[in-house]
Structure formats: C-alpha cells, structure tokens
Amino acid sequence: MSQHIVVIGGVALGPKAACRFKRLEPESKVTMIDQSSMISYGGCGIPYYVSGDVSDASELCTTSFHMLRDPKFFNEVKGVDAHILTKATRIDRENKCVEVENVQTGEKECIGYDKLVIATGASPRKLGLPGEDLKGVNYVANPGDATRIRESISKGEVGNAVIIGAGFIGSIILDAIGSQPLTLTVVEADTHMTPRMMNRAGGDMMKAWCAEKGVRVVTETRVERIDTGGERTFTPEQIAELARFDASEPRDEALYEYHRVNGRQTLREIATKLYGDLRLSYILVAANPKVASDTDELLQDQEIRIPKTLAHIVQEGDTLEKIAEERLKDPDRVPDIVKANAEALGDPPTLKPGMKLEIPLLEDAR
C-alpha cells in the first residue's frame, strides 16, 4: 500500500532514511524538508571549508561524481520530494500532519503523513556564560557557521581567536583556524586535550604539537565570561592574551610579580590596591585560574600572580584614549601607554591596526 513518509531534517540521517524508504517502497511518496539552505552535506568537511582547503561550501554537498546533492538531485535521481528553507513548526499527531513554514516568506502549510521521521540532529550546547551571544562568538555546527567564521577571518576582523574546548571538534577546528594569519588560543577545562578520546600522555603530545605550530593551549582553565570590554569580563582577545598565564607554567618574573596573601584578602582587593581599579580584577582571575572568583577570600600565604602588562592588538578605530579606557578603565593613563610603547608608536604617537601594544598595569611597568 502506498503511503506518505515525511522526513524532517536533511543532512545525514534525513536523506539516508528518505532514500531507503523510497528504495523499499518505490510507490510511496517521500517528502524531506530542512530549514536550512544546504542539505546532505558532509559535516566532517566543515573544518576543511574553514581552512580554505575546500574552497566552496557547495563542495561539501557533491557526490563523488561531482553531482550537487540539492533538492533537484533528490527529486530527479532519488525520487524524494525535497524542500529546503522549510521549517517544521508543529506536529499534529492526532491528525497526522506537520505544520511547515517557508523561512523566507513566512508562508505556512500543513503536510499530511502516514509515517514521520524526525532527523533534526543536535545543536551546540550553550554554556550559560555571560556574553556568549555577543557578536564575534560563533558555534561550529554547520556550513552557515563555517561561512561566518571564514568571512570574518578573510575580512581581517580577527586578530585573536579563542576556541573554548579542546575536544574532537575544537581540535579539528583549531587545525583549520591555526593555519590562518591570527593568534589562536585554546582554552580547555580538563587536564589535557581531547580528554574523552585520549589519555594525558596523548593529550600532552597534541598540546606540544600545537605549541610548535604557534597555537597556545591552556588546560585546567575554565572560561567564566565573555565580553567586548565591559567590567571585569573577558573579551576573546583578552582571553587570548591572558591565557599565557597558564597555571602549569614555570615562574616568570618578566611577565608578572608575585604577591603573598597576608591576612584576609580577595582578588578584587588586590586589584584595587595594585592596579588602582577593582574592575581590573578579571586579569587576576585569569592569571590565577585555580582561584574560583574575584570575591573569594584567599588563603593566608597563598601566592598570587600579578601580571605586569596586558597586550592589546590595535583595531581599526582605536584611539589611545579608547584603549586606556577599555584596558585600564582610565582615559587619563594615555601617557603611561605612550611611555611603555614609545618605540613602536613613534613621535608623534601613531596607532596602526594590527600593532601590538603592551599596556602597563603596575606602577613600575609604566
């Protein structure tokens, strides 16, 4: 008996199920819908598209005979009625129909079914971090995400990139992004890279390989917040710069001073005392990843690392006042920045996009 099979989702499982049904029951009608514009693509090719090894996203959807797996291909070759940009918005099980909406026109219709396959896949887990929805924060789950990342890199908008998570996907994306002309830092909460796939020795080998390629990997470090310059929050660029204060690193007197806690103190109090502003306590949080927050009371005699400087990559539209306000929370500290970067800035002091400045944090670094 002929029936109508409706498949929601058209990437891996959806097309597989739709074509299999059509082969088993050629007389049945099979309809496949997907809300996005690309279907039947190979997710494993996404990193190669980000890196540029795959030049066009449509190559992710081509067969080994160079046929594009688009709705026309499914209609004509597979006998599956495929629709893109079509989102399932409601399922009415009683009346056996799916309400769908054309995502471009908003037009709605109901498609009746005898059997329904839900092949809607997974979506990236949100971390619940403050700032995770800001512009410049991307997930990598589909070719659309990959296109956004590729475009912003090729437009020169990305000086520093940070990848949160060094699992399987994070690691293949780091390989793709690490080959681009930018500074890349990877932040991983666990003790080593790809913790669910490899032991510590394997993860550390990967970390050493990354270091050789100029990619910094910071383990045992949890990103707490992301921001584009608000109070005591991390911008991706700040994380990239601050991540150099890795807990596992040997003492480095050139980068930071050491403060021994005497009495009851918090990182906020130390930031206020040494940096002159409690809003800069986020720097101490990043430099001391084992300390949970800037308001936690520290242990007597605990040693705290105090970064002496903060790096800033000059962006289009930056002024010295803006940098002083953003990085030091004090526009009057322009002279400190000029003094610390006299050679690079020249006379009169001139900013150039891409230029790296050392922002002096401590009195004696100014």
Collapsing DSSP to helix, strand or coil, 6 comes out as strand
In the complex with ligand FAD, the residue whose CB is nearer, 26 or 144, is 144
CB 278 within 8 A of CB 267: no
User: Residue 83: beta bridge partners?
Assistant: 33
In the complex with ligand FAD, the residue whose CB is nearer, 142 or 281, is 142
Query: Does 11 participate in binding ligand FAD (rule CB under 6 A)?
Result: yes
Collapsing DSSP to helix, strand or coil, 365 comes out as helix
Tell me how many residues contact ligand FAD (CB under 6 A).
24
In the complex with ligand FAD, the residue whose CB is nearer, 15 or 236, is 15
Among 28, 36, 228, 265, binds ligand FAD (CB under 6 A): 36
Query: Does 138 participate in binding ligand FAD (rule CB under 6 A)?
Result: no
Q: Using CB atoms within 10 A of its CB, is residue 350 exposed (0-12), middle (13-18) or buried (19+)?
A: exposed
- State the alpha helices, DSSP H only, in the chain: 13-24, 46-51, 71-73, 143-154, 168-178, 200-212, 236-242, 267-275, 281-287, 320-328, 334-340, 342-345
10: Cα within 13 Å, side-chain hemisphere: 27
Query: Does 87 participate in binding ligand FAD (rule CB under 6 A)?
Result: yes
In the complex with ligand FAD, the residue whose CB is nearer, 141 or 182, is 141
Query: Does 140 participate in binding ligand FAD (rule CB under 6 A)?
Result: yes
Query: Does 165 participate in binding ligand FAD (rule CB under 6 A)?
Result: no
Please, what is the minimum distance in Å from the beta carbon of residue 169 to ligand FAD? 5
Query: Does 116 participate in binding ligand FAD (rule CB under 6 A)?
Result: no
Provide CB contacts within 8 A for 24, sequence distance 6+: none
Radius of gyration of the chain (CA): 26
In the complex with ligand FAD, the residue whose CB is nearer, 61 or 140, is 140
Give the integer Cα–Cα distance in Å for 135 and 326.
Answer: 18
38-77 footprint of ligand FAD as x/- string (CB under 6 A)? -----xx-xx------------------------------
In the complex with ligand FAD, the residue whose CB is nearer, 87 or 244, is 87
- Contacting residues toward ligand FAD, per CB under 6 A: 8-14, 33-36, 43-44, 46-47, 87-88, 119-122, 140-141, 169
